[in-house]
């Protein structure tokens, strides 16, 4: 099966993609394009999958830059292939020939570009990273490389949607403590539960930071098991592990 790669006109003509799980070498619960070396999938299958993604992006596998993601607001500027994965949740570069990647399975993959300045970024933005400012930190790191946020676009790829993201009262408190206005990203669920709009929150943080344009592809990872991996869906199904989706952009 060929790879399925979701793209956005807002990032064109830069090579980029939000890869679905279709077209990979993994099997079992990982069936498809699992690109997560931190999963319990066979390492050979993960390597094949990452190589296929690198080929689709037109880069050598060593130039498909990855991180050890830790739900932080830390950003790493990259100028060439890395010997080790840095502990961070966003990457930026102005170096042609590099592809910046993030792995997700419900969290937001966010790809950035200032096409005029020739600066790109990629961020892993779960609720904690978004709350702590990883999206704004990515814009600041891009500016340090010559980007202008008013000329920068960001696209949020497949992520968990509000209808599938049930949280408890302690979760909403963290958001309200930071800004009482964050209550607009929650609606009532059953009992004391709420439903959280993660991509809506991400878009608000991006637009509040003065970005030129921001959008969400409107794909829900939880609701489409044929195309996307989902940590929450796997948890609800009682499965032992889950695959990770790759999103990447290159100059």
Has residue 152 been placed in a domain? yes
The pLDDT tens digits of the residues spanning 128-167 come to 999 999 999 999 999 999 999 999 999 999 999 999 999 9
Query: Where are the strands (E) in the chain, listed by range?
Result: 5-6, 16-19, 64-65, 75-77, 90-93, 99-104, 108-114, 119-125, 153-156, 166-167, 186-188, 194-196, 213-216, 245-250
Has residue 180 been placed in a domain? no
pTM of the model: 0.97
Residue 240 is predicted with a pLDDT of 87
The pLDDT tens digits of the residues spanning 91-125 come to 999 999 999 999 999 999 999 999 999 999 999 99
Has residue 121 been placed in a domain? yes
Has residue 89 been placed in a domain? yes
Has residue 21 been placed in a domain? yes
Has residue 186 been placed in a domain? no
The C-alpha angle 16, 159, 62, rounded to 5 degrees, equals 35
Residue 138 is predicted with a pLDDT of 98
Has residue 166 been placed in a domain? no
Distance CA 10, CA 15 (A): 12
Domain at 74, CATH number: 3.60.140.10
**Domain with 49 in it:** 5-161+197-250
Q: How many domains does the chain have?
A: 1
Has residue 182 been placed in a domain? no
Per DSSP, the three-state class of 172 is helix
Residue 222 has pLDDT above 80, yes or no: yes
């Amino acid at each position: 099966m060929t790879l399925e790669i979701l793209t956005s006109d807002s990032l064109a003509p830069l090579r980029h993609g939000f890869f679905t799980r279709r077209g990979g070498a993994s099997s079992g619960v990982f069936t498809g394009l699992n690109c997560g070396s931190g999963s319990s999938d066979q390492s050979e299958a993960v390597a094949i999958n990452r190589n296929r993604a690198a080929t689709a992006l037109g880069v050598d596998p060593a130039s498909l830059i990855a991180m050890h993601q830790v739900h932080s607001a830390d950003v790493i500027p990259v100028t060439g292939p890395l010997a080790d994965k840095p502990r961070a949740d966003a990457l930026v570069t102005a170096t042609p020939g590099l592809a910046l990647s993030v792995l997700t399975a419900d969290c937001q993959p966010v790809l950035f570009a200032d096409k005029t300045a020739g600066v790109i970024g990629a961020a892993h933005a779960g609720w904690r990273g978004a709350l702590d400012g990883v999206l704004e930190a990515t814009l600041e790191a891009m500016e340090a490389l010559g980007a202008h946020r008013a000329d920068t676009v960001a696209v949020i790829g497949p992520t968990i949607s509000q209808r599938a993201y049930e949280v408890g009262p302690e979760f909403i408190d963290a958001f309200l403590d930071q800004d009482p206005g964050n209550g607009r990203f929650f609606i009532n669920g059953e009992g004391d539960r709420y439903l959280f709009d993660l991509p809506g929150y991400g878009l608000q943080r991006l637009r509040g930071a003065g970005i030129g344009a921001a959008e969400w592809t409107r794909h829900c990872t939880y609701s489409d098991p044929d195309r996307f991996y989902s940590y929450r869906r796997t948890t609800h199904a009682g499965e032992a592990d889950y695959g990770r989706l790759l999103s990447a952009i290159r100059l």
